[in-house]
């Protein structure tokens, strides 16, 4: 196939469902007109939609544009303006997250927005509340951000009658009563009690979530119930639930099949890749991408736990703030204790090793500089590691090759000074192809 359009037509011919409203745009003006058309017509559809995806049609151009670690460069989403509604703010409840952040939640008179009835919306943080001068009793404008999360975006000041009351930030955690602090340079209020029940429950929920350990069948209500019943106090306790099988079957609305499926899902999660476990731990500033970089670089939980801030910041894409959070997380005895319990339970603690004999880059160290076309820098570094080599961020006499793309700077100059071999992207890709063929 030479175009995306041809792919869609063939899929339709094979009997696959293809959106009948897809269209080829022959100019930027065509694309803009299409977006405007469906912004006004989306109510005609029998399913919810929040935007239009615009793709480069030619497949060869798609390959040339490539992709980042997160998304293709040849496709972009246009999001429709969010639908809005007006209602009355009745109260504010402070919700505690897994890192202790207190998020203000607006409790409002129910109102339909974007096809659903909304009675709760985020107020983000205390600075946002003060900036918008939001008060209890106000008539507020709400919208569904990204057509998913409702948020308060404005106040109808002219509708005030004088009975509205300012929203005051809490000085104590609404769940555990511990002191609330506001760290310097942060808008968030935080409960400082790591043993706060709300934080524990949210940490366990994050641990089990789809992009973390992906324990199917263990939803929010299950986690809450297991915590309240005393079966789990930290994520590692999930791997001891098989000891309470009969008691779990006896829980209200629980059956033998449901519990069996849950225990099987927990057992299955033990073999997840190391990057999923790192993400599941809920370290501040460590998302899925950072977790993958850490797993690829250090190769094991033990090595990561011993890493210094300096070692972590040597990884391209890891900043000092993230490095500090990682080191501080593993320095806490309670976190190390949870990891030891996970280890004893048989949870995988090492990255997948490259098969013996499949390490053609063994002993080679690569440094990437400038812009690459076929891969992002992170992807190229991961490719080197997958082939048994090392990828570092600084050039030295120990560097085997510097791969230089357009815009290469001081690293290229240093390589020239030190006499380090320099490859362009095409030469590097040829090395990769040769290595993969071995």
Query: 260 and 205: one domain?
Result: yes
Contacts for 31 with CB less than 8 Å, ≥ 6 apart: 25, 54
Query: 160 and 227: one domain?
Result: no
User: C-alpha angle with apex 387: 385 to 390, nearest 5 degrees?
Assistant: 35
Query: 400 and 428: one domain?
Result: yes
Quick one: which H or E segment has residue 55? Answer: strand 51-55
Summarised one tens digit per residue, pLDDT across range 70-116 is: 678 899 999 988 889 999 999 999 999 999 999 999 999 999 987 78
In a domain, 416, yes or no: yes
Residue keyed to tokens 């073999």:
271
Query: 238 and 311: one domain?
Result: no
CB 368 within 8 A of CB 381: yes
Q: Which residues of 173-209 are buried (b: 16+ CB within 10 A; e: fewer)?
A: bebbebebeeeeeeebbbbebeebbbbbbbbbbbbbb
Residue that finishes a domain, picked among 148, 166, 184: 166
In a domain, 427, yes or no: yes
Query: 289 and 251: one domain?
Result: no
In a domain, 15, yes or no: yes
pTM of the model: 0.70
Query: 253 and 237: one domain?
Result: yes
- Range of the structural domain that residue 309 is part of: 274-345
Give the pair of three-digit tokens for residue 88.
């009355």
Residue keyed to tokens 């639908």:
83
pLDDT at 355: 46
pLDDT, tens digit only, all 438 positions of the chain? 899 999 999 999 999 999 999 999 999 999 999 999 999 898 888 887 889 999 999 999 988 888 765 678 899 999 988 889 999 999 999 999 999 999 999 999 999 987 789 999 999 999 999 999 999 999 999 998 665 789 999 999 999 999 999 999 999 999 999 999 998 878 899 999 989 999 999 999 999 999 999 999 999 999 999 999 999 999 999 999 999 999 999 886 778 899 999 999 999 999 999 999 999 999 999 999 899 889 988 889 999 999 999 999 988 778 999 999 999 999 999 999 999 999 999 999 998 754 444 578 888 889 998 888 888 887 888 888 878 888 888 888 889 999 998 888 888 999 999 999 999 999 999 998 888 776
Number of domains into which the chain is organized: 5
Residue that finishes a domain, picked among 345, 375, 405: 345
pLDDT at 187: 85
Separation between Cα atoms, residue 278 and residue 295, nearest integer Å: 8
Query: 259 and 302: one domain?
Result: no
Separation between Cα atoms, residue 124 and residue 142, nearest integer Å: 13
Separation between Cα atoms, residue 113 and residue 399, nearest integer Å: 58
CB 265 within 8 A of CB 216: yes
pLDDT at 220: 93
Quick one: which H or E segment has residue 53? Answer: strand 51-55
- Residue 170's nearest CA partner among 150, 191, 187, 152 is 191
CATH of the domain at 377: 3.40.50.10190
In a domain, 357, yes or no: no
Residue that finishes a domain, picked among 219, 249, 269: 269
| One-character DSSP codes across 104-157 | EEEEEEEEEETTEEEEEEE---HHHHHHHT-EET-EEEEEEETTTEEEEEEE-G
**What is the radius of gyration, based on Cα positions, of the chain?**
26
CATH of the domain at 46: 3.30.1490.70
Nearest-10 crossing angle of helices 220-228, 197-208: 140
Separation between Cα atoms, residue 341 and residue 89, nearest integer Å: 45
Pairing between strand 365-369 and 390-392?
A: parallel
CATH of the domain at 122: 2.40.50.140
Query: 242 and 255: one domain?
Result: yes
Residue keyed to tokens 């339970």:
345
344: left (phi over 0), alpha (psi -120 to 50) or beta: alpha
Query: 91 and 162: one domain?
Result: yes
Separation between Cα atoms, residue 36 and residue 80, nearest integer Å: 9
Query: 50 and 66: one domain?
Result: yes
In a domain, 57, yes or no: yes
Query: 14 and 59: one domain?
Result: yes
Summarised one tens digit per residue, pLDDT across range 240-271 is: 999 999 999 988 677 889 999 999 999 999 99
In a domain, 177, yes or no: no
CATH of the domain at 308: 1.10.150.20
Q: Name the DSSP letter for residue 335.
A: H
Separation between Cα atoms, residue 226 and residue 213, nearest integer Å: 17
In a domain, 313, yes or no: yes
Query: 338 and 376: one domain?
Result: no
In a domain, 155, yes or no: yes
Measuring CA to CA, how many Å separate 89 from each of 92, 113, 141, 300, 320?
8, 15, 10, 49, 40
CB 181 within 8 A of CB 196: no
């Amino acid at each position: 196939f030479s175009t995306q359009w041809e792919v869609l037509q063939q899929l339709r011919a094979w009997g696959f469902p293809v959106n009948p409203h897809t269209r080829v745009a022959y100019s930027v003006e065509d694309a803009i007109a299409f977006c405007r058309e469906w912004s006004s017509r989306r109510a005609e559809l029998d399913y919810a939609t929040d935007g239009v995806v615009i793709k480069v049609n030619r497949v060869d151009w798609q390959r040339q544009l490539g992709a980042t670690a997160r998304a293709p460069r040849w496709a972009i989403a246009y999001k429709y303006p969010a639908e809005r509604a007006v209602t009355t703010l009745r109260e504010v409840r402070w919700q505690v997250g897994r890192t202790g952040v207190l998020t203000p939640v607006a409790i409002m008179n129910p109102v339909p927005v974007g096809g659903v009835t909304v009675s709760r919306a985020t107020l983000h943080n205390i600075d946002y509340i003060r900036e918008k001068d939001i008060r209890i009793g106000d008539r507020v404008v709400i919208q569904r951000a990204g057509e998913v999360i409702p948020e308060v975006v404005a106040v109808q000041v002219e509708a005030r009658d004088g009975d509205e009351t300012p929203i005051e930030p809490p000085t104590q955690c609404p769940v555990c009563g511990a002191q609330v602090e506001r760290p310097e340079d942060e808008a968030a209020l935080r409960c400082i009690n790591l043993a706060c029940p709300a934080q524990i429950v949210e940490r366990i929920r994050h641990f089990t979530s789809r992009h973390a350990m992906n324990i199917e069948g263990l939803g929010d209500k299950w986690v809450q119930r297991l915590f309240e019943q005393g079966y789990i106090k930290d994520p590692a306790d999930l791997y001891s639930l098989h000891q309470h099988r009969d008691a779990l079957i006896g829980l209200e609305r629980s059956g033998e099949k449901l519990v069996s499926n849950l225990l099987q899902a927990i057992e299955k999660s033990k073999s997840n890749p190391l990057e999923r476990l790192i993400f599941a731990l809920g370290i501040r500033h460590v998302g899925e991408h950072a977790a993958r970089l850490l797993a690829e670089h250090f190769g094991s939980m033990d090595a990561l736990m011993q890493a210094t801030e300096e070692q972590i910041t040597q990884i391209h894409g890891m900043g000092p703030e993230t490095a500090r959070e990682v080191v501080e997380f593993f320095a806490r005895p309670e976190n190390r204790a949870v990891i030891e319990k996970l280890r004893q339970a048989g949870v995988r603690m090492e990255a997948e090793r490259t098969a013996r004999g499949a390490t053609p880059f063994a002993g080679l160290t690569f440094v990437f500089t400038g812009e690459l076309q076929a891969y992002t820098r992170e992807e190229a570094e991961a490719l080197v590691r997958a082939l048994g080599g090392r990828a570092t961020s600084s050039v030295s006499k120990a560097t085997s090759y510097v791969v230089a793309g357009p815009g290469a700077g001081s690293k290229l100059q240093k390589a020239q000074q030190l006499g380090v071999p320099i490859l362009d992207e095409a030469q590097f890709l040829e090395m990769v192809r040769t290595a993969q063929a071995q």
